[in-house]
A = this chain, B = another copy of it.
Amino acid sequence: MSLEYSKKYYKQLEQAVENEENQFLIQEFSGKHYADISEILYQLDGPSCKYILELLGPDVRADVISDLEEDIRIEFLKQYTAEEVAEVIDHLDSDDAVDLLNEQPIKAREEVLTAIQDSEQAAYIMELLHYDEDCAGGLMAKELIRANINWTVKQCIDEIRRQAERVEKIMTVYVVDDHNILMGRVSLKEIILSKDDTKIQDIYVPEIALVHTFQQEEEVAELMQKYDLEVVPVVNVQGKLLGRITIDDIVDVITEQAEIDQQAMAGISENVESSDGIWALTRARLPWLIVGMIGGLFGAQFIGVFENELTLVPAMAFFIPLITATGGNVGIQSSTIMVQSMAGSSYIHDTLWDHFVKVIGVAGVNGLTMASLVFGFNYFFAGPELAMVVSSALFCVVMLASVMGTVTPVVLDRFGINPALASGPFITTANDLLGLGVYFSVAKMLLHL
């Protein structure tokens, strides 16, 4: 379904903009989904995009702009006056409107806010601006259909008609009492199948999954996944219905969370993208590189202690990369499996002890296999004595790195740190040092140096 366009096509569009062939442009874009339009616009320059969007009417324009990637949108909207930005905001759902307003330079925000024509929208935005963008309040939209529990189905349908413009996707009707306390919900199916004079209180479903404004976005995502919800209502501490969160925003949260976890595993300390500047990318990457570097310098000091032994048996140095790499690989595997089991529900029914016993078992099998293979190889290439040292050390390193990799995420989690960090440079650096320690200790012991 993804559309791919040729360079020639983009040339043609640019030409059309230049020659102001509005007829052609309107025809080209009308009927296209906003996500497809934004994909095309990524290829054109700012003024051309603005020109084309001008032709497409305020609704499509707002949807396309809201669909752009954040950093590109910020850049793009610099061409717009406060009044033009306000007009875009007028045609967005309140949650997207607030996101867009928050991206504006602080001094421009006030100006944009006062230029908003739709007073209800302005009130919505003023309310939503209070919430942190990572919590349920910051994710919710104000647009929803609310029915009083004392209404009839007819009154409810009238309300749907009244709000039809504003609430594009209804999904479900929320039932509240006279004080706007959330009581339950009625599905559109139920409304269609009920008579006009049926009382809402006779058909509504009382139990309802809900979230509070202060809950973190990860909690909201977890709840919606657990109960297979497409939409969830948001209430304040008194239980008053304030808004709703739709699944498309939660899909974005889940995707972003997965990206952040991957970055943590890779030792990238801020959420960056390849399109960010050199400075942002460096700032995100350097901290963990320096941690690794300090680990490496410690390692150098540590090996330095064994300088005499190395002079006697220089071949000992050959296997340093084997030992450190194995420790790192085993540690990352162990911590990744642990992190994922902590995220899933299998964490609940396996006790920590069961898990630990299995970790030892797997490490034992892996350690023995690798130690044997390496011994077979080294027996011929490095002699039986050194082969014994390397394989013994390798086995110990596999066991220790498995335990470290399993325990570290649990410890990090207890301290409120993202356990995915444990599968990153943190564990490799620690395991490098651990591996060197084991290797040289075993060597000293077995070689009687």
The chain A residues found within 8 Å of chain B, CB to CB, are 1-2, 31, 33, 35, 39, 42-43, 69, 72, 157, 160-161, 164, 169-171, 187-189, 191-193, 207, 209-211, 219, 222-230, 246-248, 250-252, 254-255, 258-259, 261-263, 265-268, 272-275, 278, 281-282, 285-286, 288-290, 292-293, 295-297, 299-301, 303-304, 307, 310-311, 314-315, 317-326, 328-330, 332-333, 335-341, 344-350, 355, 358, 361-362, 365-366, 369-370, 373-374, 377, 381-382, 420, 423, 425, 428-429, 432, 436
Say whether B321 contacts A299, CB under 8 Å: yes
Point out the residue from B268, B318, B432 that lies within 8 Å of A300, measured CB to CB: B318
Interchain CB contact under 8 A, A321 and B432:
yes
Number of copies: 2
User: Measured between C-beta atoms, what is the minimum distance from A56 to chain B in Å?
Assistant: 15
Q: How far is the CB of A166 from chain B (nearest CB, A)?
A: 12
Known: A188-B170, A266-B336, A324-B324. A329 touches B425 (CB 8 A): yes
Q: Residue A346 contacts which of B273, B336, B362 (CB distance < 8 angstroms)?
A: B273
Residue A358 contacts which of B191, B278, B369 (CB distance < 8 angstroms)?
A: B278
A365 CB to nearest B CB, Å: 5
Contacts A223-B1, A281-B337; is A296 near B321 (CB within 8 Å)?
Answer: yes
CB-contact partner of A282 in B69, B164, B301, B362, under 8 A: B362
A41 to B43, CA, bound (A): 54
Query: Does the CB pair B340–A273 fall under 8 Å?
Result: yes
Most B CB contacts (10 A, CB to CB) among A228, A254, A295, A344 go to A228
* Cβ contacts under 8 Å, A300 to chain B: 318-319, 321-322, 381-382
Closest-by-CB residue of B relative to A63 is B228
B299, A322: Cβ atoms closer than 8 Å = yes
Please give me the residue from chain B that is nearest to A429 by CB atom: B325
B-side contacts of A247, CB under 8 Å: 230, 247, 251
Q: Is the CB of B191 within 8 A of A192?
A: yes
Contact of A274 among B161, B267, B328, B355 (CB under 8 A): B355
A197 CA / B275 CA spacing, docked (Å): 54
- Alpha-carbon separation in the docked complex, A190 to B348 (Å): 45
Other-chain contact of A193, B160, B310, B320 (Cβ < 8 Å): B160
Interface contact A432-B325, CB-CB below 8 Å? yes
Identity of the chain B residue whose Cβ is nearest the Cβ of A310 in the assembled complex: B314
